[in-house]
Amino acid sequence: MLTTTHLLAAVLIGLFLNLNKDEWFVALTFGVAIDLDHVLAAPRYISDNGLAAILRPSWDDGSGLPWRSLMHYPVAAFVVMPLSIGWRYFVPLLFWSTHLGIDYIQSATLAYSSPVEIVFMTACIAGIVFLVYRRWSDLRPDADFNQFVSHLNGSLRASLKGCGVSIRQFFGSI
């Protein structure tokens, strides 16, 4: 599935588990960043199959050349499990296995991958909104969902305005 789908799933699980910043780093590394191997394989795949081939549901071109690293196969448990035990973290194993599970769902439903991915992404987004709203409403017992949306809107605008200022300052200094 798309990297955004893996990211949404990792964020949902991370919010549910209430991870700290160190755990978030490990979670995103094992749940999302292992897809960076596709970036390394893409130039060879494009040169062999053409740019339009990227849009195919499967990148299996029949060449037998790998486009996924070891981390995308169950054998990587021999890497991830010792790390989890050594770090005394369950986080790497949980997020890596979730990534593999999502990839397995995609390969098992390849003919219907777009609708399956849409449903999965929608469920993840709904879960994230639910968890964030629940935490927000715990701090404001008298607030309702409209106030939550208004709060999110104000926060997003302030963040984007801050980004715009930073970008103007960066390019102004060049």
Q: What is the mean predicted confidence (pLDDT) over 65-88?
A: 81
Domain borders along the chain are 3-142, 144-174
Task: Say what the pLDDT of residue 147 is.
Answer: 92
DSSP single-letter state for residue 71: G
Q: What is the pTM of this model?
A: 0.79
Nearest alpha-carbon partner for 11 in 157, 148, 134, 123: 123
CA distance 35 to 12: 18
| Band (172; pLDDT cuts 50, 70, 90) | confident
Structure-token pair, residue 69: 């690293």
Task: Say what the pLDDT of residue 52 is.
Answer: 76
HSE (CB half, 13 Å, CA atoms) of 140?
A: 11
| pLDDT tens-place string over residues 80-129 | 898 888 877 888 999 999 999 998 888 788 777 778 889 999 999 999 99
